[in-house]
């Protein structure tokens, strides 16, 4: 790794010599502007519009525009004197809890390693911060730019410093246009949204996320270098879904196929066949019942109707146990068709029986 900065961490009277390395790298694919006619890259020159001539670096200084067209000038030495006062030390001001810092403040992460004979002091600071669970808020100057920073312990026995914005660099939320003053949320839409969040909830595994655009661009570059003709398929037109419930339902169906959750054992299917001793016993009982019916006539038929009534009652009880498919789907983590229909379709009216009553 290339050393970005060398200095020391200072807290109290303790100084920890450290080296700084960038923890992240930019993997954007860089492209140049090319002249279509001849294929040459476009060059940019430093040109003075008043003198109408190109300017060399040794003729250039820096200036601040305090009014339109009026500047105060600074020499390189003046700016370096300002930065030299703080550019060699990371001064820890306070120790705080990490959860107290909103992620909006974080900018860029750097690794810190001990420099020269600073291993003992480095290990001391690392262990003390780990045991207390605190992070240090410090001031640091990198490349003449002053910044706040958070020093924290990584899992791999390494200190890291993360530059953070100053409070006046964070724009207030009140400047964001179009925020709703009061949110009125439909209960069914909220339930569907929660189900969708539950379906998409998973432990964070950063390695599974990839830059699809960069991969596609690299593949296109390789084909063009090889002299292949490349034609890109037109982008799929976006559908403007106005119905929020329809959009939520379509999203849930797209996340996971509707059905039983793989982690939940399926409900036992209705029994349609009989085998073994139990089947033989049931056949024998049925034959005896049929014989008794022929001998006794109407009383046996009455008993048969009573048994059928019990069977129907048992069936109704089983149906009643499964009367809340939405709740069952939410509890098990799966989304069943019944759960979706219970949220999106109105309840169907009950049908009354039209069977004529038998008279004795």
pLDDT at residue 1 tops 70? yes
Domain boundaries, the chain: 3-28+52-169, 186-200+243-260+331-344
* Pick from 317, 319, 323, 320: nearest CA to 338: 323
Nearest Cα to Cα of residue 7 among 159, 148, 142, 119? 142
How do strand 106-114 and strand 158-164 relate by DSSP bridges?
Answer: antiparallel
Query: Looking at 45-134, which runs of residues are DSSP E strands?
Result: 47-48, 53-54, 62-67, 70-74, 89-96, 106-114
Give me the phi and psi of 126, to 5 degrees please.
-60, -45
pLDDT exceeds cutoff 70 at 318: no
Give the model's pLDDT for residue 288: 53
Lowest mean pLDDT among 33-42, 131-140, 150-159, 264-273: 264-273
pTM over 0.75: no
Percentage with pLDDT > 90 across the chain? 27
Mean pLDDT of 169-175: 92
What are 141-151's pLDDT values in tens digits?
887 778 899 99
**Which range, 92-101, 138-147, 303-312, has the best average confidence (pLDDT)?**
92-101
Mean pLDDT is highest, among 222-226, 282-286, 302-306, 341-345, for 222-226
Q: How far apart are the first and last CA of the chain?
A: 98
Q: What CATH number belongs to 3-28+52-169?
A: 2.40.290.10
Tokens of 161: 């410093």
In this structure, what token pair is assigned to residue 97? 């809890």
Q: Over the chain, what is the mean pLDDT?
A: 76
The pLDDT of residue 315 is: 46
Would you report the helix, strand and coil content of the chain in percent, each value rounded to 5?
A: 40, 20, 40
Average pLDDT over residues 259-284: 47
**How confident is the model over 58-87, as a mean pLDDT?**
84
Q: Are 171 and 182 in contact (CB under 8 A)?
A: no
- The pLDDT of residue 233: 60
**pLDDT of 200 strictly over 70:** yes
Handedness of CA 142, 148, 152, 156 (dihedral sign): negative
Of 122-136, 211-225, 232-246, 273-287, the range with the lowest mean pLDDT is: 273-287
């Amino acid at each position: 790794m290339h050393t970005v900065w060398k200095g020391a961490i200072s807290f109290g009277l303790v100084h920890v010599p450290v080296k700084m390395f960038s923890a992240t790298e930019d993997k954007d694919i860089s492209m140049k502007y090319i002249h279509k006619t001849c294929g040459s890259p476009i060059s940019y020159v430093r040109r003075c519009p008043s003198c109408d001539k190109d300017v060399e670096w040794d003729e250039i200084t820096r200036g601040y525009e305090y009014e339109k067209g009026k500047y105060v000038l600074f020499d390189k030495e003046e700016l370096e004197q300002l930065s030299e006062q703080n550019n060699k030390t990371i001064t820890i001001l306070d120790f705080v809890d990490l959860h107290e810092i909103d992620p909006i403040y974080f900018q860029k992460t750097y690794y810190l390693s001990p420099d020269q004979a600073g291993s003992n002091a480095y290990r001391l600071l690392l262990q003390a911060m780990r045991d207390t669970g605190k992070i240090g808020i410090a001031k640091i100057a990198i490349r003449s730019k002053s910044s706040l920073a958070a020093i924290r312990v990584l899992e791999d026995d390494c200190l890291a410093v993360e530059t953070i914005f100053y409070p006046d660099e964070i724009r207030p939320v009140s400047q964001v246009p179009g925020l709703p003053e009061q949110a009125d949320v439909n209960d069914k839409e909220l339930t569907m949204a929660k189900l969708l969040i539950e379906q998409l909830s998973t432990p964070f595994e950063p390695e599974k996320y990839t830059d699809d655009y960069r991969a596609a661009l690299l593949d296109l570059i390789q084909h063009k270098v090889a002299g292949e003709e490349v034609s890109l398929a037109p982008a799929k037109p976006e559908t403007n879904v106005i119905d929020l419930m329809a959009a939520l339902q379509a999203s849930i169906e797209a996340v996971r196929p509707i059905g039983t959750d793989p982690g939940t054992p399926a409900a036992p299917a209705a029994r349609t066949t009989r085998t073994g001793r139990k089947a033989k016993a049931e056949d024998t009982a049925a034959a005896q019942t049929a014989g008794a019916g022929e001998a006794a006539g109407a009383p046996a038929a009455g008993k048969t109707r009573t048994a059928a009534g019990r069977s129907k009652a048992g069936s109704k009880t089983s149906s009643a146990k499964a009367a809340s498919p939405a709740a069952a789907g939410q509890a098990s983590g799966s989304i069943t068709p019944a759960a979706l229909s219970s949220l999106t379709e109105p309840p169907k009216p009950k049908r009354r029986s039209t069977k004529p009553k038998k008279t004795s």
